[in-house]
Structure 1
Amino acid sequence: MARINVEVIRAGYRLLDLDVHAMIRGRCDSFVLKTDVHFPTDTNLLYDAIRMLIQVCSKWHAQHVLPGWRNHESNRRQFKRQYRKLQKLKHSTSKNEDKKAAKEREIQQAYQDYIDLAGVYLDRAQTSIEVLKNDYKIPEIHLADLHTFSQHAERQIDQIRRRAILDETIPHAEKVFSLFQPHTEWISKGKAGVPVELGLRVCIMEDTQGFILHSQVMQKTTDDKVAVAMVKATKAQFPSFNACSFDQGFHSPDNQKELKSHLEHVVLPKKGKLSKADQEREYAPEFKHAKRQHSAVESAINALEVHGLDKCPDHGIDAFERYVALAVLSRNIQKLGTIKRDAERQRLLLEKQKLAA
C-alpha cells in the first residue's frame, strides 16, 4: 500500500504539472485514532475476563467432560449479578460519619464478594487447563485464550484488591485499558471538552498539495520521538522532500539539530522562553509564513476522520496499522480524483469560452 500510495501521489503531481523532483514541502502533525473499546474500569475489565473464561471453558466442556461447567450459563449470570450490584453502590454523601463509615464497609464487602467469586471461576478455569493438558493431551497452543484471560483475571483481581480494599493507588504503567485491544492507550492531549481518548496516536506528513506523503502509528511514544523518523521515511520515498513544519509538540533540542541535517528548511517552534538566537530564527519572515501555513494540516486530519479514520473497528495492532494505511491511500486517491475533476471542468470551461468567442 505504501508503494501504491507513492504512485498515486506522483500521478497527482503529473496532473498538476509539478515536478516530483522539485523541492517538496511538508507539514507534520498527529491525532488520536480511537479503538473500538468501552470505557475501562478495573471492575468491568475483570467482568470481561471472567465472562470470556466461562465462555471458552463451556466450549471445551462441549467437546470434553470438564468439572464445574455444566451450569456455565447460570455461572455467568451469577457473576453478572454481582457485577451489577457493585455498579449500583454509591459512596454516601451523608454528614453522619457513622452512616458514611457503614456505607464504605458495605462497598468494600461488595468488592470483596466480587473478587472472591471471580477467584472461584478463575481456579475452576485453571483446573480445566490442567485437565485438558494432562487428561486430553490438548497442545498448549490451543489453550492460549484460557491462559490469556486467566492472566487478565489475576491482574484485575489484584488491582481491585489493592485499590478498593487496601486503598492503594495503581501506577499507570500497570493498567490495561482493553482485554481485546491490548494496544489501546489512555491519551490526554489537553483538548477542550475531550479529557481523554482511548486509542493510538497516528502521525501524518502532508505536502502543500494536500497529499499525505507518509503515516506512522505511534505505539507508546510521543510526537518528539517520531519527528526524525517521519522525515527520514518521507525522504526515502520522495528524495526531493526538503522542507517541513511541525508544532511545538515535536520539539526537542536533539530534534532541532538532527532535522537540520536532513532538511534544508525546518520550522520547529521551540517550547518555553526563547533565546536571542531562537527569536531571530522564529521571527524570520519565512519561518513565520510557514508556521501560519502549518495549521492547514488540520484539514487533512479532519478529512481522514470524517471519512472513517475517527475510530478503528478492526481488532489487533496489525489490523489497526492496515486500516490506517488504507485510509491514507483512500484519501490520496480521493484527492487525485478531485484534481482530475477540476482539470476536466477547467477544460470544458475553456472550450465554452472558445465557442462563445
Structure 2
Amino acid sequence: MAQLQYHVVAAERVLDQAQRRVLRGQSVPAHEKVVSIFEPHVDVIVKANGETQFGHKVFLSAGRSSLIFDVVVPRGNPADSSMATTMMKRHVEICGQPPKQAAFDGGFASQSNVAQIKALGVGDVAFSKRRGLEVLEMVKSSRVYRVLRNSRAGVEGVISYLKRAFGLGRCDWRTFSSFRAYVMGSVIAANLVTIALAATG
C-alpha cells in the first residue's frame, strides 16, 4: 500500500512539473523535479558540454600514494567551487593537520577559496585552471604550480581506475544510502589493492 501511495504522489508531481514547464512555460527548480519515479534520489547533474546526466556528484581527496582518504557524496548538485574549503577542512579534521600543498581541479578555483584554504595553514594552493587567478596568488613559484598541476592530473588516473576496475562509473543500487555504500565500497576496494601492490612491489 505504501509503495502504491508513493507512486501516486510521484505521478502527481510529474504531471505538475510537466504542466508548469510545457503549458505555463515556467522553470522548475532542480530540487523540485522528479527525474526518475523508480530512482527518486537521483539529482540532475549538468556537465560542461551541455549533456544532462543524472546521479550524484562524488568528491574525492587523494595523496601522492594514490590512496583515497576522504569521500563526500552530497545531495543536490553543489558547485565544485562551493566544496573546496569544505574538503580541505575535512582533510584537516581527518589528518590532524593541513597539508603543505594542495591541488584542485579548475572547477574549484576562486579567489575566496585560495584565501580560505591558505587561512587553514596550507602553503600552496593550485587549481588546474586559474580562472583569473595569478600563479603567485596561489603558490610560491611557477615551478611549484606546474608540479602541483601535474600531480592533480595524476588523480584523474585514480578516478579513471575507480571507474574502470571498481565499477564507479555506474551504480545501479537503489536509494541514496545504497548509492553512497556502493561508492564507499569501490573506494575501499581500490585502496586495499593499492596497499597490497605497494607491499608486494
Scaled by the length of structure 2, the TM-score of the pair is: 0.84
Q: Which amino acid aligns with 2:56?
A: L
Partner of 2:162: 304
Query: Which string of whole-angstrom CA distances, capped at 9 and with x for unpartnered residues, describes residues 141-174 of structure 1?
Result: xx4323322221212223334445x362442433
* Residue in structure 2 matching 1:236, options 93, 97, 105: 93
**CA distance 1:168–1:213, shift in 2 (3 Å):** same
Partner of 2:70: 214
Q: Considering only aligned residues, what root-mean-square deviation do their CA atoms show, in Å? A: 2.3
Q: Which amino acid aligns with 1:231?
A: M
Asked if residue 318 in structure 1 is aligned to residue 174 in structure 2, the reply is no
- Structure 1: distance between partners of 2:126 and 2:19: 50
Asked if residue 327 in structure 1 is aligned to residue 186 in structure 2, the reply is yes
Asked if residue 188 in structure 1 is aligned to residue 46 in structure 2, the reply is yes
Partner of 1:145: 3
1:244 is displaced (CA, Å) by 1.1
Partner of 2:59: 203
- Structure 2: distance between partners of 1:273 and 1:326: 38
- Structure 2: distance between partners of 1:339 and 1:245: 23
* Residue in structure 2 matching 1:253, options 111, 118, 140: 111
Q: Which amino acid aligns with 2:52?
A: V
**CA distance 1:248–1:159, shift in 2 (3 Å):** same
Higher RCO (C-alpha under 8 Å, 6+ residues apart)? 1
Query: Which string of whole-angstrom CA distances, capped at 9 and with x for unpartnered residues, describes residues 222-253 of structure 1?
Result: 21122122112222222355121012211233
Query: Secondary structure at 2:102's aligned position in 1?
Result: strand
**CA distance 1:267–1:161, shift in 2 (3 Å):** closer
- Structure 2: distance between partners of 1:317 and 1:179: 14
C-alpha contact (below 8 Å) 1:308/1:327 kept by paired residues: yes
C-alpha contact (below 8 Å) 2:17/2:28 kept by paired residues: no
1:334 is displaced (CA, Å) by 0.5
Query: Secondary structure at 2:168's aligned position in 1?
Result: coil
Query: Secondary structure at 1:321's aligned position in 2?
Result: helix
Taking the TM superposition and a 5 Å limit, the aligned residue runs for 1:89-104 are: none
Q: Which amino acid aligns with 1:204?
A: L
Scaled by the length of structure 1, the TM-score of the pair is: 0.50
- Structure 1: distance between partners of 2:11 and 2:158: 41
* Residue in structure 2 matching 1:157, options 15, 24, 40: 15
**CA distance 1:315–1:149, shift in 2 (3 Å):** same
- Structure 1: distance between partners of 2:135 and 2:124: 16
Whichever structure has more helix as a proportion of its residues is 1
Query: Secondary structure at 1:209's aligned position in 2?
Result: coil
* Residue in structure 2 matching 1:268, options 108, 111, 127: 127
1:271 is displaced (CA, Å) by 4.9
- Structure 2: distance between partners of 1:147 and 1:335: 46
**CA distance 1:159–1:279, shift in 2 (3 Å):** closer
- Structure 2: distance between partners of 1:267 and 1:341: 33
Query: Which string of whole-angstrom CA distances, capped at 9 and with x for unpartnered residues, describes residues 117-144 of structure 1?
Result: xxxxxxxxxxxxxxxxxxxxxxxxxx43
C-alpha contact (below 8 Å) 1:200/1:218 kept by paired residues: yes
Partner of 2:143: 285
Flag as ranges the 4+ runs of structure 1 deviating above 6 A.
none
- Structure 2: distance between partners of 1:237 and 1:279: 28
- Structure 2: distance between partners of 1:161 and 1:281: 49
1:301 is displaced (CA, Å) by 0.3
1:302 is displaced (CA, Å) by 0.5
Partner of 2:83: 226
- Structure 1: distance between partners of 2:128 and 2:194: 29
- Structure 1: distance between partners of 2:106 and 2:16: 40
Partner of 2:34: 176
Structure (1 or 2) with the larger CA radius of gyration: 1
